[in-house]
Amino acid sequence: MKRGEIVIGEQPTLTSEKIQELKVAWGARNERAGEMRSQSPKFQAAMKKLSENPEWQAANAAAIVRRTTDPNWQAAIAEANKKKAQDPEWRANQATGSKKRSESPEWQAQHKAQLAKQNHERWHVKRGIVNPECELCRTEVA
């Protein structure tokens, strides 16, 4: 056998689809395992105990401060954000993401309800007015 020759033999050929499939399956398995672990009372008790330990709290806080005040870390984050924002694919995803969100009936209903509440508080509650056309005024009177 010459150098550079590859014998595949009995092994199944891995296509990119197959690899993707395996990755998804592996990810789901890991997620499930993580979920099971984090749901176990033993794990939760251990985490609780750990998070109540002042030494751990101090160490954790110090680690966060150390990391976030590290100029290298800040530069890396800034650089990563810049790269991300320059990536046309990322930008397109962001745009379609927010478009999709604002097109969803749930989002629209929520948005409408929020605006109504803001208006109701501003124009009715603060002025002591009850507007019969305002649904929120009506429900508060009823």
Q: Where along the sequence are the contacts to Zn ion (CB under 5 A)?
A: 120, 124, 131, 134, 136-137
* Number of residues in the chain: 142
Reduced 3-state DSSP string for 31-59: HHHHHHHHHCHHHHHHHHHHHHCHHHHHH
* The two structure tokens encoding residue 82: 């810049």
Residue closer to Zn ion, measured from CB, 118 or 134: 134
Residue closer to Zn ion, measured from CB, 111 or 138: 138
Q: Please, what is the minimum distance in Å from the beta carbon of residue 105 to Zn ion?
A: 24
Q: Please, what is the minimum distance in Å from the beta carbon of residue 110 to Zn ion?
A: 18
Reduced 3-state DSSP string for 91-142: HHHHHHHHHHHHHCHHHHHHHHHHHHHHHHHHHHHCCCCCCCCCHHHHHHHC
Q: Please, what is the minimum distance in Å from the beta carbon of residue 124 to Zn ion?
A: 3
Residue closer to Zn ion, measured from CB, 61 or 115: 115
Residue closer to Zn ion, measured from CB, 87 or 136: 136
Q: Please, what is the minimum distance in Å from the beta carbon of residue 111 to Zn ion?
A: 18
